[in-house]
Structure 1
Amino acid sequence: MRIVCISDTHSMHRQIQVPDGDLLIHAGDCLGVGTLEELEDLDQWFSELPHRNKILIAGNHDWCFQDEPADARARVRHAHYLQDSPLEVAGLRFWGSPWTPVFFNWAFNRERGDAIAERWAQIPQDTDVLITHGPPAGILDRIESPSGSIHPGCEALAERVANLPLKLHVFGHIHEGHGQHRIGDCLYVNASSCNGRFQPENPAIVIDL
C-alpha cells in the first residue's frame, strides 16, 4: 500500500502538491482558525484527490471538531475521521487521536502525565499504523530557540509507542521536525506541510507499507 502523509496544512491545502497513492493521511491542523466553513472547503478538496481512502484527524487548531463535534463530523464526507477510534484498511489496523500536551490554550490539549496518558492507553495493542497530531518526546520534535534546542513532544506518548508493535507512526504539530526516522520496526514520520514560518513548503512524505 502506498501511503501519502501530510499534516499542518492550516487551510493552505490547495497550495501543496499531493502525490498519488492508495491512502492519504492528514495528521491534523487541517484548518486555519478552525471554522466549519474551512472544513467544508477541505472536504471538497478531499473529493478532488484520487486516493481510494483518506484518513483525517484533528489538531490543536481544529476547533470545530472540539466545539461543534456533530456538525464537524457531518461535514467530513470524503475521508474517514478518527478521534480515539480505529479503522481497518486492506488488512492494516489504524488508530487516530488528536491530543497534544497543553500549550497555551488550544483545542484537544491535555495536561502532561496521567491526563494525557489516559488517552494513549486507549490505543489497541494490535495497532499497525498510529496517527497522532503531536510527536512522541525526542522523535522529530526538535525546535531551535535562542536558548538552545527544545523537544516539546509528549513523554507519555513516547512511553506508549515504545510498547506497541507499530509499523508506522504519523504525526505533525512540530513544523520544524518534518522528516522520517526509523527505530526498530517502526517508521516515524513528521508530515508537517508547513515549515516553521507557516509556509506550506514541506513536501508530502510517501511510504510503501
Structure 2
Amino acid sequence: MDSNAFAYSWLKAITYNGHALLRHLSWKLTSLGGTKGRQIRVICLADTHSQRCDIPYGELLIHAGDLSLNGSATEIQETIDWLKSLPHKHKVVVAGNSDRFFDARSRLPEDMSTIGLSSGREESKNLRSQLEMPFDWGEIHYLQGTSVTLDCSRVSSTVPKYVNIYGAPFVPECGPDTENAFQYPVSHNPWAGKIPESTDILVTHTPPKFHRDWYCGSPEGCPWLLQELWKVRPLLHVFGHVHTSYGTERVVWNDAQSRWEEFCSGVQELLSQNEHPITLAGILRPKLWLDAAMVMLCGLQNLLTIVIAPRRPGWQSTLMVNAACMSDDGQLGKAPHTIIL
C-alpha cells in the first residue's frame, strides 16, 4: 500500500462511518411519522454478462447494463429473451460498455458483416444514425439517452402512479473504443442538461463519483453525472459497472453531503500524488483535516436541527443502488436488489 493511502485510510474510514451514521439517523428521524403513499416494488440488476440468476417479482424490473459478455447481437438477444420471459409488468434496460453492438465504434466484425458493413473506424462513425437494431424487445423499454413514463398503478387501485424514468449507457473512458461501448473522455461532460428535472428514476451504467464506485481504493464514477444529480435529485438511481461496490446508499442532498464529497476529492488528490515516503507536508494537510471535521460537524448540526426544530427540514434524497450482480470469480454471486419506492 502507498504510504499516503496507509496514512489516511484510517481518517477516511472514521469520516465515512461517522458520516454514514449521522446521515442514517437524520434520514430515519426525518421519515418518522411520514404518510406512506402508494408503494412500487422495483427489482434492480446489472452486469449479468450473459448469465442468469433468480429474479424476485416486482412491478418494475430494471437492468442497468452489461447484458452480454462479449457484446454480440446474438448474446444480447439471448439476454433480452430471458428478460422478456420474466413476469414483471414493466421492464427497463440500458446498455453497458460490454454491450458492444449498440455502439458502432465497438461493434464486433461478425455483427458488421450481418448488416453489410466493414468494421473500419471511418465507416463505423456513420452507423450512429442506424437505429434499426435487430432485436425483438417485446414490451421491454430500451433507453439510450431517452425517457419513458410508466403507469405503475396496482390492479386494485383507481389512482394511477406514473413514474418518469431516464436511462443512458455512457461511461467514463475505461479502455479502447474498439472493445468498450459508449465511452467518453473523463474531461468531457456528456450529461449537462440531458437528464429531465421530472425524472423519478435514473438508470445509468456508470455510477456517479464517490457513490458506490470505489475500486481498489479509487473512485471510478463520473463527476459530471454527480453534478447533474445535485440538480435533478431523483428518488432512485440504479447503476452498475463497478462490480466491487455492489450495494445501496441513501444520499441526502444537504451541506453534510457536499462536505463529504469535498473530503473525498481531497483524499483522491492526495492518493494521486503517490508520495511514497511519508512526509510532514503529506501528513499535515490542514484542508483535508478541516473537511473531515466539517463533514462531522455538519452532520451533527443537521441531526440536532431535526431533533430541536418544530418542523423537520425538507431535504431531498436519492437512493443510490449499485446493482452489479457479477462477483470477482466471474459468477453472479450477488442477488438483484429489491427496492420499495
Q: Structure 2-normalised TM-score?
A: 0.57
* DSSP-derived class of the 2:221 partner: coil
What is the CA–CA distance in structure 1 between the aligned matches of 2:192 and 2:50, rounded to whole Å? 27
For residue 185 of structure 2, the aligned residue among 111, 114, 117 is 111
What is the CA–CA distance in structure 1 between the aligned matches of 2:174 and 2:192, rounded to whole Å? 18
Identify the residue that residue 3 of structure 1 maps to in structure 2.
42
Structure 2 residue runs without a partner (length 5+):
1-39, 108-129, 152-161, 253-316
* DSSP-derived class of the 2:225 partner: helix
Matched, 1:81 2:142: yes
Higher strand share: 1
* DSSP-derived class of the 2:135 partner: helix
Identify the residue that residue 6 of structure 2 maps to in structure 1.
none
Work out the number of aligned pairs and report it: 201
Structure 1 residue runs without a partner (length 5+):
none
Matched, 1:143 2:215: yes
- Higher Rg: 2
8 Å CA contact retained: 1:58, 1:133 = yes
What is the CA–CA distance in structure 1 between the aligned matches of 2:134 and 2:145, rounded to whole Å? 14
* DSSP-derived class of the 1:33 partner: coil
Matched, 1:40 2:77: yes
Residues 121/198 of structure 1: CA separation in 2 closer, same or farther (3 Å cut): farther
What is the CA–CA distance in structure 2 between the aligned matches of 1:3 and 1:159, rounded to whole Å? 25
Q: CA deviation at 1:121?
A: 2.4
8 Å CA contact retained: 2:77, 2:135 = no
Matched, 1:126 2:165: no
Q: CA deviation at 1:70?
A: 3.5
Residues 177/73 of structure 1: CA separation in 2 closer, same or farther (3 Å cut): farther
8 Å CA contact retained: 2:191, 2:228 = no
What value does the CA root-mean-square deviation take over the aligned residues?
1.4
Identify the residue that residue 121 of structure 2 maps to in structure 1.
none
* DSSP-derived class of the 1:200 partner: coil
What is the CA–CA distance in structure 2 between the aligned matches of 1:24 and 1:87, rounded to whole Å? 14
Q: CA deviation at 1:179?
A: 0.4
Identify the residue that residue 229 of structure 2 maps to in structure 1.
161
What is the CA–CA distance in structure 2 between the aligned matches of 1:191 and 1:42, rounded to whole Å? 17
Identify the residue that residue 191 of structure 1 maps to in structure 2.
323
Q: CA deviation at 1:197?
A: 3.0
8 Å CA contact retained: 2:251, 2:320 = yes
8 Å CA contact retained: 1:3, 1:21 = yes
Identify the residue that residue 24 of structure 1 maps to in structure 2.
61
Matched, 1:100 2:100: no
8 Å CA contact retained: 1:54, 1:79 = yes
What is the CA–CA distance in structure 2 between the aligned matches of 1:120 and 1:3, rounded to whole Å? 27
Letter in 1 for 2:209: A
Q: CA deviation at 1:165?
A: 2.6
Q: CA deviation at 1:72?
A: 3.4
Higher helix share: 2
Q: Deviations over 1:13-51 (max 9, x none)?
A: x2x110001110000000110111112211211221010
Q: CA deviation at 1:77?
A: 2.4
Q: CA deviation at 1:119?
A: 3.2
Identify the residue that residue 200 of structure 1 maps to in structure 2.
332
Q: Structure 1-normalised TM-score?
A: 0.91
Identify the residue that residue 90 of structure 2 maps to in structure 1.
53
8 Å CA contact retained: 1:39, 1:72 = no
Q: CA deviation at 1:163?
A: 1.6
Residues 120/74 of structure 1: CA separation in 2 closer, same or farther (3 Å cut): farther
* DSSP-derived class of the 1:39 partner: helix
- Identity across matched positions, percent: 33
Moved more, 119-128 or 178-187: 119-128
What is the CA–CA distance in structure 1 between the aligned matches of 2:133 and 2:191, rounded to whole Å? 21
Letter in 2 for 1:80: H
What is the CA–CA distance in structure 1 between the aligned matches of 2:192 and 2:99, rounded to whole Å? 20
The aligned runs of 1:60-75 (5 Å cut-off) are 60-67=97-104, 70-72=131-133, 74-75=135-136
